[in-house]
Structure formats: structure tokens, C-alpha cells
Amino acid sequence: GAVVSQHPSRVICKSGTSVKIECRSLDFQATTMFWYRQFPKQSLMLMATSNEGSKATYEQGVEKDKFLINHASLTLSTLTVTSAHPEDSSFYICSAPGRVHTDTQYFGPGTRLTVL
């Protein structure tokens, strides 16, 4: 397998502020990471693909200026929710491909974002 960590696990912020979420691959290097959003009782929706050393690719309907992704190193990708609003409250999860089978994805523990 592969170990992926996320920080913070929970964050509560005021409307209009920005929040940064970190995703780290702990025992391997990941040139690609994925960011998902999961609303209560719903499925995981892919937001964007984070690419080390280049721009992230966003899924249709995801605002790239609102959800800033930076993949500055082979073990760290960050997602910044800018000018957060209550409708951005969700469970944000990152994943990284496995080392042996790159189509297998291993998930971080997730970040519960609550915007007041």
C-alpha cells in the first residue's frame, strides 16, 4: 500500500477567509495527487488532479480560482479554499496513486471543513 496523510483533520473558519489543506505522501513520492470533495451522505467527487511541477487540471464545474492547488514537491500537495462560504463546508479528501499499480489510489484521512 501507500500512506497518505492530511492536515488539518478538522477546521472551522469564518465566511470570507481562506483555508489551506495539506496532503502528504509519507513513504513514497507522488508526481500526481487527486483532490475530492464529499458532501454528507454523498459520493466522492473528483475536483482536480494535482501535478508536481505543473498546473493542476480541474474537473468541469470546479472553479480554479477558488480552489487553488499547489504541488510544490514530490510528497506535498496543498488545496487552498479561498474566500470560503458556508456552501464550501464539506469533507475534502486527497489521494495518491500506488507505487506498484498506479491506477490504485490510496486516500488520506480527510479534512472536515466547516465555514460559519
Partner 1 sequence: GENVEQHPSTLSVQEGDSAVIKCTYSDSASNYFPWYKQELGKRPQLIIDIRSNVGEKKDQRIAVTLNKTAKHFSLHITETQPEDSAVYFCAANFGNEKLTFGTGTRLTIIP
* Residue ranges in contact with partner 1 by CB under 8 A: 1, 32, 34, 42-46, 49, 60, 91, 93, 97, 102-110, 112
- Which residues, in sequence order, are CB contacts of 82 under 8 Å at separation 6+? 18, 65, 66, 67, 68
Q: Which is nearer to partner 1, 49 or 80 (CB)?
A: 49
Taking the CA of residue 103 as centre, how many other CA atoms within 13 Å lie in the half-sphere pointing to its CB? 0
Q: Which is nearer to partner 1, 44 or 68 (CB)?
A: 44
SS3 87: helix
Q: How far is the CB of 78 from partner 1 (least distance, A)?
A: 18
Q: Which is nearer to partner 1, 34 or 67 (CB)?
A: 34
Count other Cβ atoms within 10 Å, centred on residue 61.
7
Q: How far is the CB of 5 from partner 1 (least distance, A)?
A: 10
Q: How far is the CB of 84 from partner 1 (least distance, A)?
A: 20
Contact 96, 74 (CB under 8 A): no
